[in-house]
Amino acid sequence: MAFKFDFEDTFEGGLADGTYEVVIQSMTETATPNGAEHIAVVLVVRNDVEQKGKNALVFHNIWKAKATGKYNKSMINTIGKYARMSADKEYNSLQDVFDDLERKPLKITVKNESSEYNGKTYENLNVKRWGFTALPNVQHAFKEKDSSNKDVFDAPIDITEDDLPF
């Protein structure tokens, strides 16, 4: 097998600062171990577009304000706008919104930044800008969970009297 190095195609430990075509993989309402509630948005860099970082995940959180106990609606509206959602549609629940946004394409600009919390410094990849996709016809191939690779602990174990040593 012939091989030639291509230093334009390397793994640098994550996505570089830049603009990427992505698809919303999932949105879920969750909380940190300390109880801080947020919407966890998981974006995947599209693999049907010629760009670096294909299939890389970008994690974005929309936090509930401590003072009001509510989410910043403008953040949800921003994602909806650039995902080309209808302004006329009314949803019965936040989960319905999440379901409708799933697998919608967007363009995002990200930046690697440091932050400090409780005396520790963290490196974060932050979404700095949301935009309309230039390529709305999504052909991204999602990695599906392999159902044939079930956890051995999920299968029942049949033990007969002959299997026992006593």
pLDDT tens digits for range 91-117: 999 999 999 999 999 999 999 999 998
Query: How far is the C-alpha of 60 from the C-alpha of 43, rounded, in Å?
Result: 8
- Does the residue 133 lie in any domain? yes
Q: How many CB atoms lie within 10 A of CB 45?
A: 21
What is the DSSP annotation of the chain?
------TTS---SSPPSEEEEEEEEEEEEEE-TT--EEEEEEEEE-SSSS-TTTT-EEEEEEEBPTTTS-B-HHHHHHHHHHTT--TT---SSHHHHHHHHTT-EEEEEEEEEEEEETTEEEEEEEEEEEE--S--S---------TTS--GGGS-----GGG---
- For residue 68, the enclosing domain spans 18-141
- Does the residue 103 lie in any domain? yes
Q: What is the pLDDT of residue 144?
A: 75
Q: What is the pLDDT of residue 100?
A: 97
- Does the residue 12 lie in any domain? no
- Does the residue 166 lie in any domain? no
pLDDT in tens, 47-101: 999 999 999 999 999 999 989 999 999 999 999 999 999 999 999 999 999 999 9
Cα 51 to Cα 56, 100, 164: the distances in Å are 11, 26, 58
- Does the residue 75 lie in any domain? yes
CATH number of the domain bearing residue 46: 2.40.50
**166 residue type, one letter:** F
Q: In the chain, how many domains are there?
A: 1
Q: What is the pLDDT of residue 149?
A: 45
- Does the residue 153 lie in any domain? no
> Burial level of 109, CB count in 10 A (0-12/13-18/19+)?
middle
- Does the residue 6 lie in any domain? no
Query: How far is the C-alpha of 89 from the C-alpha of 69, rounded, in Å?
Result: 25
Angle at which helices 94-101 and 73-82 cross, to 10°: 30
- Does the residue 23 lie in any domain? yes
